[in-house]
Chain A
Amino acid sequence: MKNLLTILPLLAVVILVHYLTSATDTMYYLTQLTMSAYYALLIIGLCVLMGYAGQISLGHAGFFAIGGYLSASLTTHNLIPYQDNALLAFLESSGMLVSGHDLYGEALLVVSPWAACLVAVSSAAVIAYFIGIPVLKLKGHYLAMATLGFGIIIYRIVLALEYFGEADGISEVPAFVLLPGLSVSGNFSDRVQNYYIAWGVLLFAMVLLLNLIDSRVGRALRGIHGSEEAADAMGVNTSRFKLQTFVLSAVFAAIAGVFLTHYNGGIGPSEAGVMKSVRYVAIVAVGGMAHLWGTLLMGVVLTFLSLRGVFGSYDDAVFGIVLILIMLFAPNGILSLNIRHRIKTIFGRGKKRREEEV
């Protein structure tokens, strides 16, 4: 309940931004704000993994790509040639497939977005689970390299397989009709609707994670981060909790991938690239690692600026510089409680001094 209330001001801001853009005739900002919200969804998931469970992942673009690519390929590949297959017939009768016509009027039979979304997200979860079992036994550099390796493998796979469109990626992904009249798509007429869908999803996810952090599980995770040995001695099954967090963050990444792919109407291999994963890590670091609000804010702001092309051809360089500067000078993030703490100590010191003088 408490966390629901803390979200309300943000919801007000979201609505305010909508009215501001419509009043100033800058509604085109909503497009990038929508996309930023989905990236932020991935980033807050990663924040829980890195900041609270203390595990770095340089492969989260891989999970985003698993979600996006699976849902894109399932909803675009025509299944008409395999129509006689018994399995397909069963799927069709159970409503998992939708038929229609493509641009040229040819008959089209594809997996319905809901079913595709389910498959994509659960695949990401299953892959995360089986990758996580061995990977999360590793620490430090080993963990970083192993997750980086995983990310590169996914990148190579989407780049090499014709099914995933090789270097071109997949385009013409249909709209994802969530409810009648409510669909995730890039249609101009759905822009406002999609802005609210994206932010609704993000805020809902934020409430879930805030709840999680302030619960038995969250305390155990923070305990693991604080002292793994002590958490272990308190009966926390540390490896299981790390694994579950890894799967949770992979699911968030996959959901972001699915929604953004439907919104953009397609996905390309760059979404699976190593630079993307590094960028997500950078944003979590800037946000302050174990700081969901900071990460959310930084996730939205930085991806928004990047999507607006503010950094021009220096886009990646900006993230590199930000990453280094933050790690050198403010390893706890720029929004870290340090500022508040520092102000407090300054005032505290002043008070003490005065007392001494007295």
Chain B
Amino acid sequence: MALLEIHQLTKRFGGLLAVNEVSFQVEPGQIKAVIGPNGAGKTTLFNMISGTFPASSGTVFFKGRGLKGKKPFQVATLGMARTFQNIKMFSGMTALENVMVGRHVLSKAGFTASMFRMPWTWKEEKDIRGKSMELLALLEIEEHAHTDAQSLAFGQQRAVEFARALAVEPSLLLLDEPAAGLNMYETAEVARLITKIRDFGVTVLLVEHDMSLVMDISDEIVVLCFGEKIAEDTPASIQKNQEVIQIYLGEDRPC
């Protein structure tokens, strides 16, 4: 069974059809990419999957469950974590604390327990801290654990954001343009980290602009154009796909 199944997902903004009946599946263990030119509806699609806003029609199934009406925090609880195009670090918190927030759904200390430091929360707190350090180590930024997250370099912030999302222990990780704003060297680093995350056992769905990143690491690619899916295939076949080439080379043929 597919981990994520998107079925005829559609989004209308007034008269604009941002996403039109898009369907595809993400198999466990894959890195799947969604590409397309600007305004193709990639981010809209992403926001519908993660529950930021509802779809006009169509459904998203995650682990066989419909996500209709689920808010982002509920989707996260089900095991789907995401990152943001313009990295949203928690300001005023260290890198470690940022990652520790990611452990939220896997811990349970509430207001009273936290205020009175109930003995059972001690262990929980220790586990959260230990696990978060492990993840920072996995993403190779443990030396910056106690630095204010917002003062880190952009590429490092991206790594902290990955660690934070992984702290949710997701079965599916959504990455929204992970290479946005990064230079070539940093992009290569991010590519390496993404494959590392996949090898760690997390399925990845990413939306991306940067072709080099997508072609190198993806197992399968979905191409969107003006809200419609025009191709879905392996990177090698996508590179040979006439229609895709025309879109990207800008020939005057509307898709």
Q: Touching in the complex, A and B, CB below 8 A? A: yes
CB within 8 Å of B: which residues of A? 1, 208-209, 211-212, 215-220, 222-223, 225-227, 229-238, 244, 248, 290
- Interface residues in B94-114 (C-beta closer than 8 Å to A): 97-98, 100-105, 107-111, 114
- Interface residues in B74-129 (C-beta closer than 8 Å to A): 76-77, 81-82, 84, 88-93, 97-98, 100-105, 107-111, 114-117, 121, 124-125, 128
Contact for A215 among B84, B93, B114, CB less than 8 A? B114
How far, in whole Å, are A248 and B114 apart by their CA atoms in the complex? 13
Tell me which residues across on chain A come within 8 A of B167, comparing CB atoms: 234
What would 23 A/B residue contacts be, using CB atoms closer than 8 Å?
Answer: A208-B116, A211-B116, A212-B114, A215-B115, A216-B103, A216-B114, A216-B125, A216-B128, A217-B110, A217-B111, A219-B97, A225-B90, A225-B91, A226-B88, A226-B90, A230-B84, A233-B82, A233-B165, A234-B76, A234-B104, A234-B167, A235-B105, A237-B73
Tell me which residues across on chain B come within 8 A of A233, comparing CB atoms: 50, 72-73, 76, 81-82, 84, 165
Contact for A222 among B92, B102, B117, B128, CB less than 8 A? B92
Tell yes or no: B71 within 8 A of A by CB. yes
With A222-B90, A234-B73, A234-B101 already in contact, 13 other A-B pairs whose C-beta atoms are closer than 8 Å: A1-B117, A215-B114, A216-B109, A216-B128, A222-B92, A225-B90, A226-B92, A229-B72, A230-B89, A233-B165, A234-B164, A235-B105, A237-B73
Which of A222, A223, A235, A290 is most buried by chain B, counting CB atoms within 10 A of its CB? A235
Tell yes or no: B168 within 8 A of A by CB. yes
- Interface residues in B56-84 (C-beta closer than 8 Å to A): 71-73, 76-77, 81-82, 84
The 9 closest A-B pairs by CB, nearest first: A226-B90, A235-B76, A215-B114, A235-B105, A230-B88, A227-B88, A208-B115, A226-B91, A232-B72
A345 nearest CB across to chain B (Å): 11
Contact for B90 among A1, A208, A223, A235, CB less than 8 A? A223
Q: Are B100 and A219 in contact (CB under 8 A)?
A: yes
How far, in whole Å, are A216 and B112 apart by their CA atoms in the complex? 11
A234 with B50, Cβ < 8 A, contacts A219-B93, A219-B97, A222-B90 known: no
A215 with B101, Cβ < 8 A, contacts A233-B50, A244-B111 known: no
A92 nearest CB across to chain B (Å): 32
Which of B103, B114, B124, B167 is most buried by chain A, counting CB atoms within 10 A of its CB? B114
Tell me which residues across on chain B come within 8 A of A227, comparing CB atoms: 88-91
Which of B101, B107, B108, B128 is most buried by chain A, counting CB atoms within 10 A of its CB? B101
Contact for B114 among A211, A226, A232, A235, CB less than 8 A? A211
Tell me which residues across on chain B come within 8 A of A238, comparing CB atoms: 73
How far, in whole Å, are A235 and B90 apart by their CA atoms in the complex? 14
Q: Are A217 and B92 in contact (CB under 8 A)?
A: no
Q: Are B89 and A215 in contact (CB under 8 A)?
A: no
> Nearest CB to that of B170 among chain A residues?
A235
Q: Are B116 and A236 in contact (CB under 8 A)?
A: no
Q: Are B104 and A235 in contact (CB under 8 A)?
A: yes
Q: Are A248 and B71 in contact (CB under 8 A)?
A: no
A232 with B73, Cβ < 8 A, contacts A216-B109, A216-B125 known: yes
> Nearest CB to that of B122 among chain A residues?
A1
Tell me which residues across on chain B come within 8 A of A236, comparing CB atoms: 73, 101, 104
Tell me which residues across on chain A come within 8 A of B76, comparing CB atoms: 232-235
> Nearest CB to that of A217 among chain B residues?
B114
Which of B77, B102, B117, B168 is most buried by chain A, counting CB atoms within 10 A of its CB? B117
B237 nearest CB across to chain A (Å): 33
How far, in whole Å, are A233 and B87 apart by their CA atoms in the complex? 12
Tell me which residues across on chain A come within 8 A of B97, comparing CB atoms: 219, 222
Tell me which residues across on chain B come within 8 A of A1, comparing CB atoms: 117
Tell me which residues across on chain A come within 8 A of B168, comparing CB atoms: 234-235
Tell me which residues across on chain B come within 8 A of A235, comparing CB atoms: 73, 76-77, 104-105, 168
Contact for B104 among A208, A211, A216, CB less than 8 A? A216
Tell me which residues across on chain A come within 8 A of B93, comparing CB atoms: 219, 222-223, 226
Q: Are B121 and A215 in contact (CB under 8 A)?
A: yes
Tell me which residues across on chain B come within 8 A of A237, comparing CB atoms: 73
Contact for B81 among A211, A220, A234, CB less than 8 A? A234
Tell me which residues across on chain B come within 8 A of A219, comparing CB atoms: 93, 97, 100-101, 104
